[in-house]
């Protein structure tokens, strides 16, 4: 009797180029200044690196909830209708173009103004980061816009694929956000002294949003 623990045909059918592209896009988006990484930076500057890392852990744990909602919700839609899935991709592309436009309209200056807030312990910061992420509907919408165009296998379950993308997103974001927390002092000094960094990151983020939107429109199911 032969026991098969791993079905290697699933792994041989993976499109690693798509996974690498997904990780690259995630990295650029994590590097670009936004509410989450600026929040981590400020917590690290104000209270210390380990407090910034606790915030990162909370934010990234919250991403598991959004990944689960996406995996089971969108996977069911994919099974039901190709037209519905195409509609999701159109929505995703439109939303990413909207985000690019919002970034274009935004100020390129990165504000590091420090509000005098009471210091919280590590558990409180973890919980705050988790709640901030889970209760933010923009994260759910972003995941819905971002993930479906990066499905990477025709033979693997779409639920598993969404979880793989979710864990890759969390891993890449954790590394970058963790680096932001650890290098907080150096980064804050660099941002303060170099006014061009905000402009460069702003246009980099715009190009990435537009690039992903185009990719979604051209990609097949």
pLDDT at residue 24, as a whole number: 92
Which residues touch 144 (CB under 8 Å, ≥6 apart)? 70, 74, 88, 91, 92
Structural Rg of the chain based on CA atoms = 19
Percent of the chain with pLDDT over 70: 89
Give per-residue pLDDT as tens, 76-120: 887 778 788 888 888 999 999 999 999 888 877 766 665 545 677
Lowest mean pLDDT among 7-11, 136-140, 199-203: 7-11
Quote the tokens at residue 148: 């479906």
Please answer whether residues 192 and 47 qualify as being in contact, where contact means their C-beta atoms are separated by less than 8 angstroms.
no
Give per-residue pLDDT as tens, 115-155: 545 677 899 999 999 999 999 888 989 999 999 889 998 88
Higher pLDDT pick, 169 / 46: 169
Q: Model confidence at 172, in pLDDT bands (50, 70, 90)? A: very high
pLDDT at residue 5, as a whole number: 41
Burial 161-196 (b: 16+ CB within 10 A, else e): bbbbbbebbbebbbebbbbbbeebeebbeebeeeee
Domains of the chain: which residue ranges? 17-107+123-218
pLDDT at residue 82, as a whole number: 79
SS3 93: helix
| Predicted TM-score (pTM) of this structure | 0.84
- For the cut 90, the answer to whether the pLDDT of residue 62 exceeds it is yes
Q: Model confidence at 1, in pLDDT bands (50, 70, 90)? A: very low
């Amino acid at each position: 009797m032969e026991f098969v623990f791993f079905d290697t045909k699933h792994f041989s059918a993976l499109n690693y180029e798509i996974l690498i592209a997904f990780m690259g896009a995630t990295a650029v988006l994590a590097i670009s200044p936004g509410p989450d990484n600026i929040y981590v930076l400020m917590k690290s500057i104000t209270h210390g690196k380990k407090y910034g890392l606790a915030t990162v852990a909370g934010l990234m744990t919250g991403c598991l909830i959004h990944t689960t909602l996406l995996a089971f919700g969108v996977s069911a839609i994919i099974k039901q209708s190709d037209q519905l899935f195409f509609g999701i991709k159109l929505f995703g592309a439109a939303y990413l173009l909207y985000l690019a436009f919002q970034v274009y309209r935004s100020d390129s200056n990165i504000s590091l103004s420090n509000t005098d807030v009471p210091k919280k312990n590590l558990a409180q910061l973890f919980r705050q980061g988790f709640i901030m992420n889970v209760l933010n509907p923009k994260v759910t919408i972003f995941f819905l816009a971002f993930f479906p165009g990066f499905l990477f296998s025709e033979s693997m379950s779409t639920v598993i694929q969404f979880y793989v993308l979710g864990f890759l997103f969390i891993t890449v974001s954790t590394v970058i956000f963790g680096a932001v927390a650890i290098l907080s002092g150096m980064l804050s000094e660099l941002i303060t002294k170099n006014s061009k960094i905000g402009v460069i990151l702003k246009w980099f983020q715009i190009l990435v949003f537009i690039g992903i939107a185009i990719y979604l429109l051209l990609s097949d199911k």
